[in-house]
Amino acid sequence: MEYKDLLNMVKNKAQGWLSESYDTETRAQVQALLHKEDPSDLIEAFYKDLEFGTGGLRGIMGVGTNRMNIYTVGAATQGFANYLKKEFENVNPVKVVIGYDCRNNSRRFAEVSADIFSANGVKVYLFDALRPTPEISYAIRSLGCQGGIILTASHNPKEYNGYKAYWKDGAQMIAPHDRNTIAEVNKIRSASEIRFDGNKALIELLGEDLDRQYIGALTGISLSPEAIRRHRDMKIVYTPIHGTGVHIVPETLKAFGFRHIIHVPEQDVVSGDFPSVASPNPEDAAALALAVEKAKETGAELVLATDPDGDRVGVAVQNNASEWILLNGHQTALLLVYYLVTQRGAAGQMQGKGYIVKTIVTTEVIRSIAESHGVEIYDVYTGFKWIADRIQKNEGKKVYLGGGEESYGFLCEDFVRDKDGVSACAILAEIAAWAKDRGQTVFQLLQTIYATYGYSREAGLSVVKKGKSGAEAIEAMMKNYRDNPPLEIAGSKVAFIYDYARLQGYSCLDKEVLTLDMPTTSNVLQYLTEDKTKISIRPSGTEPKIKFYCEVHLPIHGVEEIPEAERIAGEKIEQIKVALGIS
């Protein structure tokens, strides 16, 4: 589209937001954008409509069709309500759960959504205060609802908010329900079509009773209560990074039997401004810095953190030199998979039907662990809705042991259908107690896993490209990687190329074209080399960036070989950056 045409289209869309259907404040803000000499902000606010990605609706807060506000949230809710009523026309009333996190406007968006659902005759269970994402998933299933939403932008910067939509199984929506909901949302062309006039008689608040039920269910997945009893005074530092885990994670740890939970007071402050961190992301060392300092002060043995909506977990442990280090998402998943597979197997809970789920970008060492214990493993796309989809397909046939992704998300139980940072914190603390029973630290347990199943080192790299021009640049980069794949990466020939957008693979060795068995297409490209290096490239579904996932494998024969393997792997990752042009 030519710039002049784009600007005219944007202005026309903005003019529609000046009608009486929009509140006075919104109209004033749109008018200000229209009068600005530089139209860049106007274009960014209106050049497209927010769409569902791997994490649902997510964007910067502000006025416009490409921003999070009561009208884009309202359109999503109205469309979702319309679809739920069509799909469950024989259910009266249709029921939904609504939750929200600590972000600015999350409570307001949740209350507006409750009004819209109820105005459409939908029964609403609205949490009375902020709650973690996994509890919303649990509540949908527990209360027999047909759907639900949570207002959250997970670990994004403070300018963002988001909207995750869930189906009756407590999982984020996939086809056809996501597409059908979007179709319903797209039918809504004006705020006048959104029913904001809530029916308070159809809105019921959820509180501590549901919390106790959720925590009670989580305690049922404990595998080593005797180890916890022996080490119940183990010091654990926990931080919610200003978010939803502030009460429920410490309460869950205590319910598991841990008695010495150490808080980080500065980060117990619930705030959408995230005052103690630049980014509320448990992947970032800076976000855990205060918790690590608290661990040093108190002599703690484990640091746990959850992101603002409580679905992802960050972990810090001490290495053999007593230095505090952060585990990456692959390492956390390795520990959880190893523990769940070995201990549930020892408890006779697998019945020969156990399985693990991981995403295609998560470490392949998980495959080695699963296969060595006779456990089936499934690869799915990034986005926890695909792990939930596999659980749904296997329900009643096989035994779910656990599933995770490299982005710090894991699910230990099957009565929740989204990643669960609450249960992950509890089981990781249990792993620390279990390892201590065996004379090991968590770090030493991880080294033992590497020595047994092979060493891997992973690096997640991102190139940020903001706005419309950024989206176009990312599209051009993906096209170039497809059309001009490297023949060699870090000294090893490329053996396979997997293009999930075409569901097609290619063997560079025997020139054979392969068909990829996945439920739908996804804009992901993978290179696999002869030395088992795996590189995955995809645009983010929730952020303005293109992501690169690098995994290097090295065979080792003992823990003593890990330092040299780390050095070699680090060099190879630098070579990969050069090969991909992102150094």
Q: Do residues 447 and 303 share a domain?
A: yes
Q: Do residues 293 and 369 share a domain?
A: yes
Domain-located, residue 372: yes
Q: Do residues 187 and 257 share a domain?
A: no
Query: In this predicted structure, what is the pLDDT of residue 101?
Result: 98
Mean per-residue pLDDT over the chain, rounded: 95
Domain boundary among 453, 481, 496: 453
Domain-located, residue 27: no
Domain-located, residue 551: yes
User: How many structural domains does the chain have?
Assistant: 3
Beta bridge partners of 550: 459, 535
Domain-located, residue 23: no
Set 106, 118, 154, 522: catalytic member: 154
Cα–Cα distances in angstroms (integers) from residue 385 to residues 153, 403, 485, 546, 578, in the given order: 16, 11, 30, 20, 33
pLDDT tens track for 73-85? 999 999 999 999 9
pLDDT tens track for 316-367? 999 999 999 999 999 999 999 999 999 999 889 988 899 999 999 999 999 9
Domain-located, residue 10: no
Domain boundary among 189, 206, 223: 206
Domain boundary among 432, 453, 474: 453
Question: Does the annotation count 40 as an active-site position?
Answer: no
Domain-located, residue 162: yes
Q: How far is the C-alpha of 582 from the C-alpha of 494, rounded, in Å?
A: 18
Query: In this predicted structure, what is the pLDDT of residue 458?
Result: 96
Domain-located, residue 268: yes
Single pTM value for the model: 0.94
Q: Do residues 427 and 334 share a domain?
A: yes
Backbone angles phi, psi at 527, to 5 degrees: -115, 130
Cα–Cα distances in angstroms (integers) from residue 130 to residues 76, 116, 135, 371, in the given order: 21, 20, 10, 40
pLDDT tens track for 210-247? 999 999 999 999 999 999 999 999 999 999 999 999 99
Residue 393, pLDDT above cutoff 70: yes
The pLDDT of 161-184, averaged and rounded, is: 93
pLDDT above 70 covers a percentage of the chain that reads 99
Q: Do residues 419 and 506 share a domain?
A: no
Q: Do residues 297 and 442 share a domain?
A: yes
Q: Do residues 285 and 295 share a domain?
A: yes
Q: Binning pLDDT at 50, 70 and 90, where does residue 56 land? A: low
Q: Do residues 357 and 376 share a domain?
A: yes
Domain-located, residue 24: no
The pLDDT of 41-46, averaged and rounded, is: 96
Give the range of the structural domain holding residue 162, as residue numbers without chain letter. Answer: 48-206
Query: In this predicted structure, what is the pLDDT of residue 582?
Result: 85
* Crossing angle (nearest 10°) for helices 3-15 and 24-35: 160
